[in-house]
A and B are shown apart, each in its own frame.
Chain A
Amino acid sequence: MHTLAGTFIKDELEDIFDKKTVLYPFSLYFMHNKKTFYALKKDEKVSWMKALKEAIGYSSLYDYYELKVLLG
């Protein structure tokens, strides 16, 4: 069992395993260690990320804003 108090979540880039299967990873930063979880489907990853973010109470700038090219 892991307590999610004081943890951070980070979205990772897609990883190719055995040159065939595509994995969709995300990592949880605990107090003293880091753990990367892999999902086989993108929807699974999104649903997990959403649930974990709610549980932690995590919210990033990108959840509310879209950052695009500089206007000037």
Chain B
Amino acid sequence: MRKQIPFYNQIPLYAKKINKTDNKGVHSSPTTKILSSPKWLLKFAPVSSIIKRSPKLMARKEVKKSSVLEKFTTHAEENKEGKDGAAPVTPTKERKLTNDEPKIEASKTMKAQHVPWIDSSKAQELLVSPNMNTEVIRLPNAVKVNQSVLQKTKEVKSDLLKSPSLFLRDSSAKDIVGSLLYCECGNSCDGESTVCSTCLKSKETIENTGYLYLKAKSTKLKRYWYILLNKELYCKARQNYLNRLQE
């Protein structure tokens, strides 16, 4: 492989010193100007970059080249024939190309460049179609459903072939196959309820009330009225607390 040398290393090759003179004829200090190399100019020219991108323009360029070459080659052949015996043809006369010839040449160049050739009828269809500018049209996935699974289940729904992420997102009490129901926690539900037994227990309020004794000293007991509400344990000296709340 040939090593690419950066342009800033090659600057001295393209630098040129220029002496300038004023109107009065006095020489000023010489200035250096950098000349851009023809290679770089070709590479970074905006026209060339556009041509490289589009295959159509490239093909057109090739056609132009080939037509010029053909013109010269046809003249050469005709001159040869003239030398053999027939009357020589004057080089000033130019052979007129028929209407189909440039198309054929274009197709040849397209084939050489592996560019897919589109018929005129197809091209017209594409021009008419609204999805002309879209790059890719995605077709629906053809999924083969396992027949054995379908036969076992009574009701088959579109949710049967869900991805795991979707399945987990919509897992809150949605039937996937037949009568199977799942709770938010992931456990299966019994019957037609949408919440499992453990979740039901947790949602229920835990209540308990009664007297409990605490040891004030080793020889003395003190009575308290305790109320348990879910995860909170309230302590009151008297039982009337509940009655007051109800009032």
Contacts and interface: CB of A to CB of B under 8 A. Distances in A.
Nearest to B212: A37
A17 B210 contact: no
A54 B203 CA distance: 11
Nearest to A36: B215
A40 B213 contact: yes
Contact of A1 (B208, B212, B235): B235
B233 A1 contact: yes
Contact of B231 (A5, A39, A48): A5
B67 interface: no
Contacts of B215: 36, 38
A52 interface: yes
Given A2-B233, A3-B231, A17-B221, A37 B208 contact: no
B212 A38 contact: yes
A39 B228 CA distance: 15
Given A2-B232, A3-B232, A17-B221, A44 B210 contact: yes
A23 B213 contact: yes
Nearest to B224: A37
A55 interface: yes
A48 B206 contact: no
Contacts of A68: none
A51 B232 contact: no
Contacts of B212: 37-39, 48
B14 interface: no
A39 B208 CA distance: 14
Contact of B206 (A3, A39, A51): A51
Interface residues of A, number: 22
Interface string B218-232: 010100001010111
Contact of A48 (B210, B230, B232, B234): B210
A22 interface: no
A39 B235 contact: no
A47 B208 CA distance: 8
A40 B213 CA distance: 8
A35 interface: yes
Nearest to B229: A55
Given A1-B234, A4-B233, A17-B221, A51 B228 contact: yes
Interface string A25-64: 0000000000111111000100110011011100000000
7 contacts: A17-B221, A23-B213, A37-B212, A44-B211, A51-B208, A54-B201, A55-B228
Interface of A: 1-5, 17-18, 23, 35-40, 44, 47-48, 51-52, 54-56
Given A2-B233, A35-B214, A54-B201, 12 more contacts: A2-B232, A3-B232, A4-B232, A17-B221, A36-B214, A38-B212, A39-B213, A40-B211, A47-B210, A52-B233, A54-B206, A56-B231
Closest 4 CB pairs of A and B: A51-B208, A38-B213, A2-B233, A37-B212
